[in-house]
Structure 1
Protein backbone atom coordinates (compact mmCIF):
# COMPACT_ATOMS: atom_id res chain seq x y z
CA UNK A 1 0.00 0.00 0.00
CA UNK A 2 1.39 3.38 -0.97
CA UNK A 3 2.10 6.25 1.39
CA UNK A 4 -0.77 8.37 0.03
CA UNK A 5 -3.34 5.60 0.31
CA UNK A 6 -2.14 4.78 3.85
CA UNK A 7 -2.52 8.41 4.85
CA UNK A 8 -5.96 8.60 3.23
CA UNK A 9 -7.09 5.51 5.13
CA UNK A 10 -5.72 6.97 8.39
CA UNK A 11 -7.33 10.38 7.84
CA UNK A 12 -10.73 8.96 6.96
CA UNK A 13 -11.06 6.72 9.99
CA UNK A 14 -14.18 7.58 11.98
CA UNK A 15 -12.41 8.52 15.20
CA UNK A 16 -10.10 11.03 13.55
CA UNK A 17 -12.93 12.76 11.70
CA UNK A 18 -15.08 12.78 14.85
CA UNK A 19 -12.21 14.28 16.82
CA UNK A 20 -11.66 16.99 14.19
CA UNK A 21 -15.35 17.92 14.28
CA UNK A 22 -15.31 17.96 18.09
CA UNK A 23 -12.21 20.17 18.04
CA UNK A 24 -13.85 22.73 15.73
CA UNK A 25 -17.09 22.68 17.72
CA UNK A 26 -15.16 23.03 20.98
CA UNK A 27 -13.38 26.11 19.65
CA UNK A 28 -16.66 27.66 18.57
CA UNK A 29 -18.27 26.78 21.91
CA UNK A 30 -15.33 28.35 23.74
CA UNK A 31 -15.88 31.58 21.82
CA UNK A 32 -19.56 31.58 22.76
CA UNK A 33 -18.75 31.05 26.44
CA UNK A 34 -16.07 33.74 26.37
CA UNK A 35 -18.52 36.19 24.80
CA UNK A 36 -21.12 35.26 27.42
CA UNK A 37 -18.71 35.80 30.30
CA UNK A 38 -17.16 39.02 28.96
CA UNK A 39 -20.27 40.66 27.50
CA UNK A 40 -23.06 39.45 29.80
CA UNK A 41 -21.71 38.01 33.05
CA UNK A 42 -18.82 40.40 33.77
CA UNK A 43 -20.91 43.58 33.32
CA UNK A 44 -23.46 42.30 35.83
CA UNK A 45 -20.70 41.50 38.32
CA UNK A 46 -19.19 44.92 37.61
CA UNK A 47 -22.54 46.60 38.27
CA UNK A 48 -22.89 44.75 41.56
CA UNK A 49 -19.35 45.79 42.53
CA UNK A 50 -19.99 49.47 41.82
CA UNK A 51 -19.63 49.83 38.06
CA UNK A 52 -16.13 48.43 37.62
CA UNK A 53 -14.84 46.39 34.68
CA UNK A 54 -13.69 43.08 36.09
CA UNK A 55 -11.11 42.57 33.31
CA UNK A 56 -9.32 45.80 34.28
CA UNK A 57 -8.82 44.87 37.94
CA UNK A 58 -5.18 44.34 38.87
CA UNK A 59 -2.77 44.53 41.75
CA UNK A 60 0.13 46.82 40.83
CA UNK A 61 3.38 45.43 42.20
CA UNK A 62 5.63 48.13 40.71
CA UNK A 63 4.53 51.32 38.96
CA UNK A 64 5.62 51.94 35.41
CA UNK A 65 7.84 54.89 34.47
CA UNK A 66 7.05 57.11 31.49
CA UNK A 67 9.69 57.88 28.91
CA UNK A 68 11.55 61.16 29.57
CA UNK A 69 12.98 63.21 26.68
CA UNK A 70 15.11 66.34 26.71
CA UNK A 71 14.41 69.47 24.65
CA UNK A 72 16.13 67.98 21.59
CA UNK A 73 13.87 64.91 21.70
CA UNK A 74 16.56 62.54 22.87
CA UNK A 75 15.40 59.87 25.28
CA UNK A 76 16.92 60.58 28.67
CA UNK A 77 15.09 57.88 30.62
CA UNK A 78 13.51 54.94 28.79
CA UNK A 79 10.00 53.87 29.66
CA UNK A 80 9.57 51.00 32.10
CA UNK A 81 6.35 48.98 32.01
CA UNK A 82 4.42 48.46 35.21
CA UNK A 83 4.50 45.09 36.91
CA UNK A 84 1.00 43.98 37.85
CA UNK A 85 -0.99 40.90 38.77
CA UNK A 86 -4.08 41.05 36.57
CA UNK A 87 -6.43 39.13 38.83
CA UNK A 88 -9.57 40.38 37.05
CA UNK A 89 -8.56 38.80 33.74
CA UNK A 90 -7.61 35.61 35.58
CA UNK A 91 -10.98 35.51 37.36
CA UNK A 92 -12.78 36.00 34.04
CA UNK A 93 -10.79 33.13 32.48
CA UNK A 94 -11.52 30.96 35.52
CA UNK A 95 -15.27 31.61 35.20
CA UNK A 96 -14.92 30.78 31.50
CA UNK A 97 -13.27 27.46 32.36
CA UNK A 98 -15.84 26.54 35.01
CA UNK A 99 -18.73 27.15 32.61
CA UNK A 100 -17.09 25.10 29.83
CA UNK A 101 -16.23 22.27 32.25
CA UNK A 102 -19.78 22.22 33.65
CA UNK A 103 -21.39 22.14 30.21
CA UNK A 104 -19.02 19.38 29.06
CA UNK A 105 -19.86 17.41 32.22
CA UNK A 106 -23.59 17.77 31.52
CA UNK A 107 -23.14 16.69 27.87
CA UNK A 108 -21.13 13.61 28.86
CA UNK A 109 -23.63 12.77 31.59
CA UNK A 110 -26.52 13.01 29.08
CA UNK A 111 -24.64 10.90 26.53
CA UNK A 112 -23.92 8.22 29.12
CA UNK A 113 -27.59 8.17 30.09
CA UNK A 114 -28.66 7.77 26.45
CA UNK A 115 -26.32 4.83 25.87
CA UNK A 116 -28.16 1.55 26.07
CA UNK A 117 -26.83 -0.60 28.85
CA UNK A 118 -25.04 -3.66 27.60
CA UNK A 119 -27.13 -6.78 28.14
CA UNK A 120 -25.86 -9.00 30.87
CA UNK A 121 -24.35 -12.20 29.56
CA UNK A 122 -26.67 -15.17 29.78
CA UNK A 123 -25.85 -17.45 32.64
CA UNK A 124 -23.58 -20.11 31.34
CA UNK A 125 -24.95 -23.62 31.44
CA UNK A 126 -23.02 -26.72 32.23
CA UNK A 127 -19.96 -27.42 30.12
CA UNK A 128 -19.80 -30.25 27.62
CA UNK A 129 -17.68 -32.28 30.01
CA UNK A 130 -20.22 -31.86 32.81
CA UNK A 131 -23.08 -32.97 30.53
CA UNK A 132 -21.13 -36.01 29.38
CA UNK A 133 -20.36 -36.85 33.00
CA UNK A 134 -24.07 -36.67 33.89
CA UNK A 135 -24.99 -38.90 30.93
CA UNK A 136 -22.35 -41.41 32.02
CA UNK A 137 -23.69 -41.40 35.58
CA UNK A 138 -27.26 -41.93 34.32
CA UNK A 139 -26.18 -44.82 32.10
CA UNK A 140 -24.40 -46.51 35.04
CA UNK A 141 -27.67 -46.70 36.99
Structure 2
Protein backbone atom coordinates (compact mmCIF):
# COMPACT_ATOMS: atom_id res chain seq x y z
CA UNK A 1 0.00 0.00 0.00
CA UNK A 2 1.23 3.49 -0.77
CA UNK A 3 0.09 7.02 -0.01
CA UNK A 4 0.01 8.69 -3.41
CA UNK A 5 0.63 12.39 -4.14
CA UNK A 6 -3.16 12.90 -4.15
CA UNK A 7 -3.21 11.76 -0.47
CA UNK A 8 -5.10 8.58 -1.19
CA UNK A 9 -3.98 5.03 -0.48
CA UNK A 10 -3.36 2.59 -3.30
CA UNK A 11 -2.11 -0.98 -3.69
CA UNK A 12 0.94 -2.05 -5.69
CA UNK A 13 2.52 -5.46 -6.16
CA UNK A 14 6.06 -6.60 -7.01
CA UNK A 15 7.80 -9.93 -7.14
CA UNK A 16 11.30 -11.31 -6.79
CA UNK A 17 12.49 -14.48 -8.46
CA UNK A 18 15.94 -14.42 -6.85
CA UNK A 19 15.20 -14.51 -3.11
CA UNK A 20 14.81 -10.75 -2.79
CA UNK A 21 18.05 -9.64 -4.44
CA UNK A 22 16.07 -7.66 -7.01
CA UNK A 23 12.38 -6.84 -7.44
CA UNK A 24 10.09 -6.19 -10.38
CA UNK A 25 8.76 -2.69 -10.93
CA UNK A 26 5.65 -2.06 -8.79
CA UNK A 27 2.39 -2.65 -10.67
CA UNK A 28 -0.98 -1.13 -9.75
CA UNK A 29 -3.41 -3.74 -8.53
CA UNK A 30 -6.82 -2.03 -8.58
CA UNK A 31 -8.58 -0.04 -11.28
CA UNK A 32 -7.45 3.59 -11.53
CA UNK A 33 -9.83 6.55 -11.47
CA UNK A 34 -9.65 10.30 -12.13
CA UNK A 35 -11.10 11.03 -8.66
CA UNK A 36 -9.68 10.26 -5.19
CA UNK A 37 -10.20 6.64 -4.07
CA UNK A 38 -8.70 4.89 -1.05
CA UNK A 39 -7.81 1.18 -1.13
CA UNK A 40 -6.70 -0.50 2.08
CA UNK A 41 -6.53 -3.66 4.23
CA UNK A 42 -5.59 -5.87 1.31
CA UNK A 43 -5.02 -9.62 1.22
CA UNK A 44 -3.23 -11.63 -1.45
CA UNK A 45 -3.61 -15.30 -2.34
CA UNK A 46 -1.96 -17.37 -5.06
CA UNK A 47 -4.04 -20.21 -6.45
CA UNK A 48 -1.79 -23.31 -6.21
CA UNK A 49 -3.61 -25.03 -9.08
CA UNK A 50 -3.07 -22.36 -11.76
CA UNK A 51 -0.78 -19.62 -10.38
CA UNK A 52 -3.44 -16.88 -10.51
CA UNK A 53 -2.75 -14.03 -8.10
CA UNK A 54 -5.83 -12.67 -6.34
CA UNK A 55 -5.93 -9.51 -4.23
CA UNK A 56 -8.95 -8.52 -2.11
CA UNK A 57 -9.27 -5.04 -0.58
CA UNK A 58 -11.55 -2.32 0.77
CA UNK A 59 -12.25 0.49 -1.70
CA UNK A 60 -14.06 3.86 -1.51
CA UNK A 61 -14.84 4.33 -5.24
CA UNK A 62 -18.62 4.20 -4.66
CA UNK A 63 -18.69 6.96 -2.01
CA UNK A 64 -20.54 9.76 -3.81
CA UNK A 65 -20.00 12.22 -0.91
CA UNK A 66 -16.28 12.57 -1.62
CA UNK A 67 -15.50 11.90 2.06
CA UNK A 68 -14.18 8.41 1.19
CA UNK A 69 -15.94 6.80 4.17
CA UNK A 70 -18.31 4.47 2.29
CA UNK A 71 -16.44 1.28 1.52
CA UNK A 72 -17.00 -1.82 -0.56
CA UNK A 73 -14.94 -4.97 -0.85
CA UNK A 74 -13.30 -5.77 -4.21
CA UNK A 75 -11.26 -8.52 -5.82
CA UNK A 76 -8.58 -8.10 -8.50
CA UNK A 77 -7.15 -11.09 -10.40
CA UNK A 78 -3.92 -11.54 -12.34
CA UNK A 79 -3.52 -14.49 -14.67
CA UNK A 80 0.09 -13.69 -15.63
CA UNK A 81 1.77 -14.11 -12.25
CA UNK A 82 1.05 -10.56 -10.99
CA UNK A 83 2.58 -8.63 -13.89
CA UNK A 84 -0.79 -7.10 -14.77
CA UNK A 85 -4.31 -7.07 -13.39
CA UNK A 86 -6.39 -6.79 -16.57
CA UNK A 87 -10.11 -6.26 -16.58
CA UNK A 88 -12.28 -4.52 -14.06
CA UNK A 89 -12.06 -5.27 -10.36
CA UNK A 90 -14.97 -7.37 -9.12
CA UNK A 91 -17.15 -5.86 -6.42
CA UNK A 92 -17.66 -8.60 -3.83
CA UNK A 93 -19.80 -6.76 -1.27
CA UNK A 94 -23.41 -6.07 -2.16
CA UNK A 95 -23.91 -3.12 0.21
CA UNK A 96 -21.54 -0.23 0.98
CA UNK A 97 -20.45 0.15 4.61
CA UNK A 98 -19.52 3.19 6.67
CA UNK A 99 -17.44 2.37 9.72
CA UNK A 100 -17.08 6.05 10.65
CA UNK A 101 -20.58 7.42 11.00
CA UNK A 102 -23.84 6.70 12.76
CA UNK A 103 -26.07 9.42 11.29
CA UNK A 104 -23.74 12.13 12.58
CA UNK A 105 -23.47 10.70 16.10
CA UNK A 106 -19.97 10.06 17.42
CA UNK A 107 -19.12 7.90 19.16
CA UNK A 108 -21.67 5.69 17.49
CA UNK A 109 -23.44 3.38 19.95
CA UNK A 110 -23.98 0.80 17.18
CA UNK A 111 -20.29 0.35 16.38
CA UNK A 112 -17.97 -1.86 18.39
CA UNK A 113 -14.80 0.26 18.28
CA UNK A 114 -12.75 -2.71 19.45
CA UNK A 115 -13.62 -4.63 16.28
CA UNK A 116 -13.30 -2.62 13.10
CA UNK A 117 -12.93 -3.20 9.38
CA UNK A 118 -9.91 -5.34 8.74
CA UNK A 119 -9.90 -7.15 12.05
CA UNK A 120 -11.35 -10.30 10.52
CA UNK A 121 -10.41 -10.70 6.86
CA UNK A 122 -8.83 -13.26 4.63
CA UNK A 123 -8.55 -14.62 1.11
CA UNK A 124 -8.11 -18.18 -0.12
CA UNK A 125 -7.81 -19.21 -3.77
CA UNK A 126 -8.14 -22.72 -5.15
CA UNK A 127 -9.01 -24.30 -8.50
CA UNK A 128 -9.81 -20.98 -10.20
CA UNK A 129 -12.09 -19.68 -7.43
CA UNK A 130 -11.24 -16.94 -4.92
CA UNK A 131 -12.91 -16.98 -1.50
CA UNK A 132 -12.67 -13.54 0.18
CA UNK A 133 -13.74 -13.02 3.80
CA UNK A 134 -14.44 -9.49 5.10
CA UNK A 135 -16.31 -7.50 7.71
CA UNK A 136 -18.73 -4.66 7.10
CA UNK A 137 -21.23 -2.58 9.04
CA UNK A 138 -24.44 -4.37 8.04
CA UNK A 139 -26.65 -5.70 10.78
CA UNK A 140 -27.90 -9.15 9.80
CA UNK A 141 -29.57 -10.17 13.02
CA UNK A 142 -32.26 -12.82 12.90
CA UNK A 143 -34.85 -13.46 15.55
CA UNK A 144 -34.44 -16.65 17.53
Structure with the greater alpha carbon radius of gyration: 1
TM-score, normalized by the shorter chain, greater than 0.5: no
Higher helix share: 1
TM-score by length of 2: 0.19
Higher strand share: 2
TM-score by length of 1: 0.19
